[in-house]
Structure 1
Amino acid sequence: MRYPVPGLQPASKSNRRRVLLIGLDGIRWDIAAESNVGSTLQALAKAGSFHEMTMEVPTISAPGWGSILTGSTHAQHGLKDNSCVGGRTWNRPDFLSQCFYQDQDTRTFAAAGWPVLVDPHGLGPLIHPRMEQQYAGLHRVVVRDGETFGYSAVDAEITDITLAAIKSGSFDVGFTYCCDVDDAGHIHGLQGHFYREAIMRVDAHVKALTNLISARHEAFSEEWLVIITTDHGHVDEGGHGGATARERESWVIAWSPDGYTPDWDKELRPEEITPLILREREIIPTDGSPDKNP
């Protein structure tokens, strides 16, 4: 068989939809939606589904991602700031863990340049290391440090690692994360070209990822769902954490290369993302319609 991408490797057959959650920190949709800024994001939102989401206060990354990644409210996961002091994330398994518990043949993958999300030796992690599954080849965690080495370079590396994992067919449910845009917002604010250029860089990463997933679908007829979201907005001057509408605003894009669109509400809550992913991972019957009672 001739594959559309050189080196594309087949994966084991699955009767569950494969999922990639792409986390893009601190992207305000009104700016991503500007002409020639978030072109890929705009196209995916048009081809798939777009959902508004309002984040809980404080609008800080660890609490926000804690809710998105674990399906928990702030009161449940206990995260108040990026120090993670007082958090109960070891009691709140992330969506990758929950997908594995749903089906123990599930291979999971996470890659991020913000150590709080993935580094077991850092302040979190929000993604559980699950060492037994790592030893068994069922779970892989890639840790990089954008705080030290800069998010523009680290996001590109994280994307390349994720592309290699997609090309090799090595996971069924994955999470990959970029923080370049949030970093630019803090340093430069949102008024000038720096924030927009950061969105363009991240938008290119998303294009590469979704193009490769489309190639896998074309080559192997794999069922995929790509979910893209952000953890908070920004005030125009740059910054977040408060209760203004601009800081609390978020969004979700759901897209599939086969045209499948999930039946989700127009407005979502951050703690709904994980249970929605679990629902999308329910067994797909042979007629292609979702089986809600597998």
Structure 2
Amino acid sequence: MTKICLVGIDGLRLDQAIDRPDPIAPTLARLAAEGIRTDLEMEVPTISGPGWASLLTGTTHAQHGIRDNSFIGSRLWEYPDLLSRAYYRNQSVRTFAAAAWRPLVDPVGPAGPVIHPRLEQQWAGKHQVVVRDGEVYGYETQDAVITAGAVADLGAMGREVYFVYLGETDIAAHVFGSVGPEYAAAIRRCDEHLARLVAAVSARADQGEDWLVVVVTDHGHLDEGGHGGDSAIERSSFTIARRFGPDQTLDWPEQLAPHQLVDALLTFIPAGSP
């Protein structure tokens, strides 16, 4: 079975991170050079709630019903997320989700969660959820905590499907704009977190395991900061996929809609027993 580590970096512009003579995200640039990059066009409104819901559940805005970050009208309980679907496809699959944007993972609150809590699987040790609050304590520190938890679990458990969310880039763009030094510094820190995750995956691949690392974002940002509209930069997203292990060949879609990401990832999870 190919194990999956999906890393979501909120509001990341590739033109600022790697599509420049001096990439400020060297880990992401290396993954793109060694793997496969696919451009995505997000649905409007280009807001995190509907964007991550589409990416993580494999549904369109019309299906999941989310139009903004209030999650009013949500039909998420009808649409299991990637981790849940992987487990339902093969009940030997163990899953892990970590995020400091609570609507993605926290069942306590008015919004979300996008990723179903699956308490029975948590009690059985099949599913682990790490929740932090970046809105209260700041994403710079909480992304670091999220990464540390994921790296520790990768080393100790090596579960079959991981989702790790990093949010500092989005906040930096909102506050300072997406073309200045503050946004660049946030990108660098997120890339350092990504480097730790990739190193943990590589260590397991060196032991003979087969791994797929995929990085994705939910929307772009205007130069002055902000998103939600239908401009090309706001709708801009991507996947960067790189395989680690004995066989590093990768069959990955050259064209992909946001709601097709889950199905693309599930092709690496065989039905039934591994």
TM over 0.5: yes
What are the equivalent positions in structure 2 for 1:35-74 lying under 5 Å apart? 35-74=22-61
Over aligned residues, Cα RMSD in angstroms? 1.6
Q: AA paired with 2:36?
A: S
Q: AA paired with 2:12?
A: I
What are the equivalent positions in structure 2 for 1:1-294 lying under 5 Å apart? 16-33=1-18, 34=20, 35-122=22-109, 123-218=111-206, 220-258=207-245, 260-282=248-270
Instruction: Kindly state the Cα deviation for residue 172 of structure 1 after the two structures are TM-superposed.
Output: 1.1
Aligned residue pairs total: 270
SS in 2 for 1:268: coil
Task: Tell me the distance in 2 between the aligned counterparts of 1:54 and 1:264.
Answer: 17
Q: Structure 1 pair 161/72, CA: closer, same or farther in 2 (3 Å)?
A: same
Instruction: Kindly state the Cα deviation for residue 261 of structure 1 after the two structures are TM-superposed.
Output: 4.1
Task: Tell me the distance in 1 between the aligned counterparts of 2:175 and 2:41.
Answer: 24
Q: AA paired with 2:129?
A: V
> Are the equivalent residues in 1 in contact too, given 2:90–2:270 (CA < 8 A)?
no
> Are the equivalent residues in 1 in contact too, given 2:173–2:226 (CA < 8 A)?
yes
Instruction: Kindly state the Cα deviation for residue 257 of structure 1 after the two structures are TM-superposed.
Output: 1.9
Q: Which of 1 and 2 has greater Rg? A: 1
SS in 1 for 2:116: coil
Instruction: Kindly state the Cα deviation for residue 260 of structure 1 after the two structures are TM-superposed.
Output: 2.4
Q: TM-score, normalised by structure 1?
A: 0.89
Instruction: Kindly state the Cα deviation for residue 191 of structure 1 after the two structures are TM-superposed.
Output: 2.6
Task: Tell me the distance in 1 between the aligned counterparts of 2:179 and 2:71.
Answer: 31
Q: Structure 1 pair 163/50, CA: closer, same or farther in 2 (3 Å)?
A: same
> Are the equivalent residues in 2 in contact too, given 1:49–1:261 (CA < 8 A)?
no
Instruction: Kindly state the Cα deviation for residue 170 of structure 1 after the two structures are TM-superposed.
Output: 4.5
Task: Tell me the distance in 2 between the aligned counterparts of 1:197 and 1:246.
Answer: 20
